[in-house]
Amino acid sequence: MSYNGSNGLRLILPSDGALDEPSRDFMKACSLSVKRPSSRRYTGFIPTIKGATVLFQRAADVTSKIEEASADLGITGLDRYLEYHREGGDAILIMEDLGFGQCDLVLAVPNAWLDVTSMSDLADVALEFRQQGRPLRIATKFHRLVRRFLLEHGINHFNLIMTSGAIEAAPAAGFADLIADLTASGETLRENRLRPLEDGTVLSAQACLVGNRATLRKNSQALRQTRAILEMMEGYLQSRGYYRLSANLRAKSAEDVASKILTKRELAGFRGPTVSRVYNVDGEGWHTVNLVISRERMLEVTDHLRSVGATDISVSPLGYMFKEQCAAYEALLRKLGV
């Protein structure tokens, strides 16, 4: 496939599994709503990114499609990227945490294994099995990640068993001793009489954004469109947890208002207060103050403003917060070497 710089961006979204709907919800929250003419169509578009094409693929295939240059960007789970990407290949991690799809890849043993609660206990079991002439059998879809984790904990006599069905049923069915699988709440494990080891978390993962180094480097239009997407995603993510607080305060001047608020600098907002005069009919010296604050300090800031005479205090969430530059895009440029 050739890239002449005039091809629009190709973005893959998961079409199944736990990241399907949340990925589209995330895109919408970033003002990047995806339009799909029909649920039977495997392509769509983003009205705010002219010329970009959205492709829908199984979540398990997103990394491989990026790797083979069938698309430029894709949303998938960090677990799937780390498991399936080719070392030294063109699939690169662009944004590691998109703020949704949180889950853990854990080693879970049957409840009947009462004395096995840690990785050191599991190492003892693996040694016992070896002395009996058989390996520890672990059902999982994440062979690379689990193998590395086991070796790091001194367990080197094991078989990793691939299963296409429900992994949780493997121990009860008798073709595995324990499992390594993704869990968000742990409910499915409990229902199947399994429990995770105390220190058996292989990986804590979430949705991430990956891209193809070669196509983004060669395709100038796709790179420009990628920048627009990264700006909106990063601006949205940076705004979460911050609010704009507005209040009215009687004072002789804007400077007087600022000095009162700045008596507690830690409660004076993200960068400090913005103060403007209120032109009211009774001629009294009212001013409006605006602060950008974190959710954690909302009540502290409210009490501080009340203590200096503020009233009519209102709070609204921020939609986006853009900083001096888009850190994700600058990091991408460094990876591309452009």
Q: Give 53-103 as a DSSP string.
A: EEEEE-GGGHHHHHHTTS-SEEEEEHHHHHHHSPTTSSEEEEES--S---E
pLDDT at 164: 72
Among 238, 243, 245, residue whose Cα is nearest residue 295: 243
3-state secondary structure of 50: coil
* Beta-carbon count within 10 A of 164 CB: 6
3-state secondary structure of 24: helix
pLDDT at 15: 92
pLDDT at 5: 39
Both tokens of residue 292?
A: 């950008």
Residue 107 and residue 200 in contact, taking contact as beta carbons nearer than 8 Å: yes
Q: Quote the CA–CA distance of 153 and 29 in Å, as a whole number.
A: 41
* Beta-carbon count within 10 A of 5 CB: 11
Among 260, 257, 264, residue whose Cα is nearest residue 286: 257
In sequence order, which ranges of the chain are alpha helices (DSSP H)?
20-29, 62-67, 78-84, 119-131, 143-152, 170-173, 187-191, 213-218, 220-239, 254-261, 298-307, 327-336
pLDDT at 41: 81
pLDDT at 3: 38
pLDDT at 281: 64
The domains located in the chain, with CATH, are 10-102+206-239+326-336 (3.40.190.10), 103-203 (3.40.190.10), 242-317 (3.30.70.120)
Residue 181 and residue 108 in contact, taking contact as beta carbons nearer than 8 Å: yes
Q: Quote the CA–CA distance of 129 and 145 in Å, as a whole number.
A: 22
pLDDT under 70 in the chain at which residues?
1-6, 281-283
Mean pLDDT value across the chain: 93
Tens digits of residue pLDDT in 125-168:
999 999 999 999 999 999 999 999 999 999 999 999 988 778 99
Q: Quote the CA–CA distance of 308 and 95 in Å, as a whole number.
A: 42
Label residue 281 exposed, middle or buried (CB < 10 Å: 0-12, 13-18, 19+).
exposed
